[in-house]
């Protein structure tokens, strides 16, 4: 797995958030479920992904941002 489950115990805003703070937030929940939500609409629980799916997504994005990494 590419992340520590306890590292996302609280909603964590993307490091690429806009100057006004609007961005996506990520949180790990029990049963290795990853939630992703819009920081402007925090009343919603967000989309849910399995830890495996989320890890594959992060790996793919990382490879695209850092060719040859």
Q: Where are the chain's structural domains?
A: 5-65
**What is the spatial distance between Cα 7 and Cα 22, in angstroms, rounded to a whole number?**
21
User: Which pLDDT score is estimated for 1?
Assistant: 42
**Which residues on neighbouring strands pair with residue 50, listed in sequence order?**
33
Mean pLDDT in consecutive groups of 10 residues from the start of the chain, 69 residues: 59 73 81 85 87 87 67
Calculate the CA 48 to chain-centre distance. Answer: 10
Classify the phi-psi angles of 62: left when phi > 0, otherwise alpha if psi is within -120 to 50, otherwise beta: alpha
The predicted structure's pLDDT at residue 62: 79
Claim: this prediction has a pTM higher than 0.75: no
């Amino acid at each position: 797995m590419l992340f520590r489950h306890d590292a996302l115990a609280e909603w964590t805003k993307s490091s690429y958030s806009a100057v006004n703070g609007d961005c996506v937030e990520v949180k790990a929940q029990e049963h290795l479920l990853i939630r992703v939500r819009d920081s402007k609409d925090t009343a919603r629980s967000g989309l849910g992904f399995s830890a495996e799916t989320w890890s594959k997504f992060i790996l793919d994005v990382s490879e695209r941002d850092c060719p040859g990494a």
